Chains A and B, each alone.
Chain A
Amino acid sequence: MTLDREQVFERVEEVLIDSLGVDTEDVTKDATLSGDLGAESIDFLDIVFRLEKAFSIKISKGELFPDDILNNPDNVENGRITPAGLEQFKRSMPHADFAEFEKDPSVAKVPDLFTVDTIVNYVQAKLAAA
C-alpha cells in the first residue's frame, strides 16, 4: 500500500475520531492522545486494532506504544526517566519526537510523547518497510 503523508494522516484522523469520540478539529498533528484527546489505556488498544485494519498492517505488542519501559527500575528514578531509560525509549520509539521531552524527562510527561504525529510517523515507516 503506498500512501502519502496526507493520506496516512487522514486515515489516522478517522481512527482517532472513531475510537476517541473527538471531532476533526481536535485531531491536530501535535495533539497528545491522553492529554488533549482523552485517550484511556483501553483506547490505546482500540487504536492499535483499528490501525491494523485501516492500513492492513500487524502491530506487535509494545511496538507503537511501548508499555514495559517504565516497569524497569533502571529506567526510572524519583519520578524521572534515567539516561538509560531515555535511551530505551528512543530505541523503542523512533517514531516519536523527543526534543520537548528531553528538556524535562519526568514520568508524568511520558504520555505527551504519544501525539497524532507519533502515530502518523509510525504508520509511514511501517508501510515503507512492508
Chain B
Amino acid sequence: MKFGLIDRVIELEPARRIVAVKAVSLSEEYLSEHFPTFPVLPGVFMLEAMVEAAGWLVRVAGDFDRSVILLASTRGVTYKRFVEPGHLLRVEVDCRRLAPEASEFAGACYCGDTEAVKGRFTLRHMNLADRSSALAATDRRIVDEARKRWALLYRIADDNQPS
C-alpha cells in the first residue's frame, strides 16, 4: 500500500496556494478498523492531506531543493464532520510564510460545500546531506521519487482537468 494522502492537485498558485483532492474509498484497508461498523477517514489523515499538499507547494516553489519535508507543529486543528468512503475531499491550503527551511500554512478540507477540518501548521524542510554528505545520494533518491509523484498528481493535460 502506498503512503500518500493526496490523489490529485487541481490548482497551484506558486508559493501561495494549492488545492488538491483526496478520494476516500472502502478499498483503503485501514478503514476496516476505523471503524469496523462506521468507516470514516481518520482525522489525522485529513491533517496529513493538508501537510502533503503544503509539502508539494514547498517542493515546487523551491524546485525540489529540499528532500525531506515534515510537519513541525500545528495550532488549532478543528474537526467538524466525518468524511465517509465515496466522498472526494477537497484540500485547500494557503501559504502564510515560506523560507528555505521552514514554512507556515493555513488550510481546510471540504466535502462538497461542507468544511470537514480547518487548521494551521508549520513544516520544516531539510536535506540529509546537511548532516552527512554521504546521505546526498539519499536526498537525490527522495527528490527523484517526489518528482515522479508530482508528475502524476499535477498533469496539465486537458483530459485531466476537473469539469
Contact = CB atoms under 8 A, between A and B. Distances in A.
Interface stretch (B25-33, B57-65, B74-82, B146-154): B74-82
Interface in A16-61: 19-21, 40, 42-43
B8 interface: no
A40 B117 CA distance: 11
A43 B76 CA distance: 9
Nearest to B120: A21
A21 B76 contact: yes
Contacts, number: 11
A40 B81 CA distance: 12
Interface residues of B, number: 6
B79 A20 contact: no
Interface string B18-49: 00000000000000000000000000000000
A21 B80 contact: no
Given A19-B76, A42-B79, A42-B80, 8 more contacts: A20-B76, A21-B75, A21-B76, A21-B120, A40-B78, A40-B80, A42-B78, A43-B78
Interface residues of A, number: 6
A43 B79 CA distance: 10
Contacts of A40: 78, 80
Nearest to B78: A40
Interface in A92-118: none
- The 10 tightest CB contacts between A and B, nearest first, are A21-B76, A40-B78, A21-B75, A21-B120, A42-B78, A40-B80, A43-B78, A20-B76, A19-B76, A42-B79
Contacts of A20: 76
A82 B31 CA distance: 46
11 contacts: A19-B76, A20-B76, A21-B75, A21-B76, A21-B120, A40-B78, A40-B80, A42-B78, A42-B79, A42-B80, A43-B78
